[in-house]
């Protein structure tokens, strides 16, 4: 415990002795985590909306009117075997008519609607929306299918947003992590440079590398954790503001934003882990050459 108090006290003292550089190190760490978190959460929400869309968005294949009822129903096994089709449901003319009347009938305007004006159809959900173009092409080539209806633009839009956010997030994370380690490393190098004579004397009287290294490790740990806590608070505020803006927008009601209270624990864990990794990594990089006495 005495060693722990000593190491912790020395780490705090080292951090405060170079206030501006410590502030810069914390600031860069906050920026890194905030940008990383923002793009990661965008990718996560895009993926959630994509999964919802995958469950709700169906491909509708209309059967050629020249086919008999038996021939139309006989296509089900063939359509179910198409790669990428999760389920395939046959909807008869009568069922299509009843569904239309239930949805749009007002004042019994469509109560006498003739089912023959509708076509037999198949409603299909996909295993992955990325396969929609492929499935639609195979349906168009299937004999007995007259027309295919699919909201490809919507699904492709969600896939594009998710992929772009993921790529940008990974690239920025790599770049900013390197910058954060570099800044924290330089901050701790200033401390070690001021204490280089003290470190040399401690080495000469028999102090171990670990005893000398720990105060600087604690300094980096504190810098990383402080940056993680500040970044997490700002991320929560930013996420809440964006969520509220989407909820209040009439044009973005289709988007579902996951409540931050449902995901705060893994986000906090990732922020803390990255903060510790950056801080400790920077400190170990900085102190290494000063131990070669």
pLDDT tens-digit series, residues 163-221: 777 787 778 777 877 776 677 667 666 666 666 676 677 777 777 777 777 777 787 78
- If you average pLDDT over residues 66-83, what whole number do you get? 88
76 or 253: whose pLDDT is higher? 76
- If you average pLDDT over residues 281-289, what whole number do you get? 72
| pLDDT for 250 beyond 80 | no
182 or 266: whose pLDDT is higher? 266
Percentage of the residues of the chain whose pLDDT score is greater than 70: 75
Overall pTM > 0.85:
no
Buried b (16+ CB within 10 A) or exposed e, 92-110: bbeebbbeebeeeeeeeee
Task: Output the pLDDT for position 265.
Answer: 92
Contact 255, 246 (CB under 8 A): yes
Q: Nearest CA to 94 among 77, 119, 76?
A: 119
| pLDDT for 142 beyond 80 | yes
| pLDDT for 1 beyond 60 | no
Task: Output the pLDDT for position 238.
Answer: 93
- Dihedral sign (CA 244, 248, 251, 252): positive
Task: Output the pLDDT for position 171.
Answer: 81
Task: Output the pLDDT for position 106.
Answer: 59
83 or 162: whose pLDDT is higher? 83
- If you average pLDDT over residues 36-55, what whole number do you get? 76
- If you average pLDDT over residues 13-38, what whole number do you get? 77
CA pair distance 200, 212, nearest whole angstrom: 10
Burial class for 237, CB neighbours closer than 10 Å (0-12, 13-18, 19+) = exposed
Place of tokens 């492929």: 134
């Amino acid at each position: 415990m005495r060693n722990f108090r000593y190491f912790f006290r020395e780490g705090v003292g080292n951090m405060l002795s170079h206030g501006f550089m410590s502030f810069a190190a914390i600031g860069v760490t906050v920026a890194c985590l905030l940008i990383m978190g923002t793009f990661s959460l965008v990718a996560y929400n895009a993926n959630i909306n994509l999964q919802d869309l995958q469950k709700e968005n169906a491909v509708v294949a209309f059967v050629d009117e020249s086919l008999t009822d038996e021939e139309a129903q006989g296509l089900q096994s063939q359509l179910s075997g198409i790669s990428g089709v999760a389920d395939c449901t046959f909807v008869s003319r009568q069922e299509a008519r009843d569904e239309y009347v239930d949805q749009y009938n007002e004042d019994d305007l469509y109560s006498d609607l003739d089912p023959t004006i509708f076509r037999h159809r198949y409603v299909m959900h996909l295993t992955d929306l990325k396969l929609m173009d492929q499935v639609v092409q195979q349906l168009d080539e299937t004999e007995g299918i007259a027309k295919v209806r699919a909201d490809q633009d919507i699904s492709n839009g969600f896939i594009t947003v998710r992929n772009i956010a993921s790529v940008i997030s990974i690239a920025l994370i790599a770049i900013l992590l390197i910058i954060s380690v570099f800044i924290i490393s330089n901050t701790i190098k200033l401390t070690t440079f001021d204490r280089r004579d003290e470190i040399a004397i401690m080495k000469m009287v028999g102090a171990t590398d670990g005893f000398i290294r720990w105060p600087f490790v604690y300094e980096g740990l504190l810098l990383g954790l402080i940056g993680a806590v500040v970044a997490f608070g700002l991320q929560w505020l930013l996420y809440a503001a964006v969520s509220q803006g989407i909820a209040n927008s009439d044009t973005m009601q289709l988007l579902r934003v996951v409540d931050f209270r449902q995901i705060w624990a893994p986000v906090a864990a990732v922020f803390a882990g990255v903060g510790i990794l950056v801080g400790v990594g920077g400190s170990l990089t900085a102190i290494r050459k000063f131990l070669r006495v």
